[in-house]
Amino acid sequence: MAVSALQLAELALHGASFLCGVISASALTVTQGEFDGRCVLYGSTDKNGTAIVLSRASNISLCYFVSAISILIALYCFSVLLYGIYSCCMDEGRWDRTWLTMNLVVSAVILFFLLVSACILRVGMDSLCSSILRTKLVQNCQEAQRAPWFPQYNTARFYDNLYSAEAAAWVNFFFWCLLLALLLLQCRREAPFQLLQRNDPEWSSETEAIFGARPQRP
The contacts found for 191-195 with CB under 8 angstroms, 24 or more apart, are 192/97
Cα dihedral 82, 182, 171, 125 sign: negative
Q: Give the pLDDT score at 58.
A: 92
Question: 78-89: buried (b, 16+ CB within 10 Å) or exposed (e) per residue?
Answer: bebbeebeebbe
DSSP letters for 115-147: HHHHHHHHHHHHHHHHHHHHTTS-SSGGGGGTS
Closest Cα partner for 121 from 163, 154, 173?
163
Return the number of other C-beta atoms located less than 10 Å from residue 140's C-beta: 10
Could you tell me the pLDDT band of residue 122, with boundaries at 50, 70 and 90? very high
% of the chain with per-residue pLDDT over 90: 51
Closest Cα partner for 68 from 117, 20, 119, 125?
117
- Claim: this prediction has a pTM higher than 0.85: no
Q: Give the pLDDT score at 91.
A: 60
Q: Give the pLDDT score at 59.
A: 93
Type of residue found at 186: Q
Distance from C-alpha of 168 to C-alpha of 68, rounded to nearest angstrom:
14
CB 157 within 8 A of CB 169: no
Taking residues 174-185, report their average pLDDT. 90
Omega of the bond prior to 151 within 30 degrees of 0, cis? yes
- Residues 46-70 have pLDDT tens digits of 998 889 999 899 999 999 999 999 9
Return the number of other C-beta atoms located less than 10 Å from residue 141's C-beta: 19
Task: Write down the mean pLDDT value for the chain.
Answer: 83
Closest Cα partner for 179 from 104, 118, 117, 114?
104
Type of residue found at 110: I
CA 25 from centre of chain: 12
- Residues 161-179 have pLDDT tens digits of 999 999 999 999 999 999 9
> Starting at the edge strand that comes first in sequence, how are the strands of the sheet with 39-48 ordered?
39-48, 51-58, 149-150
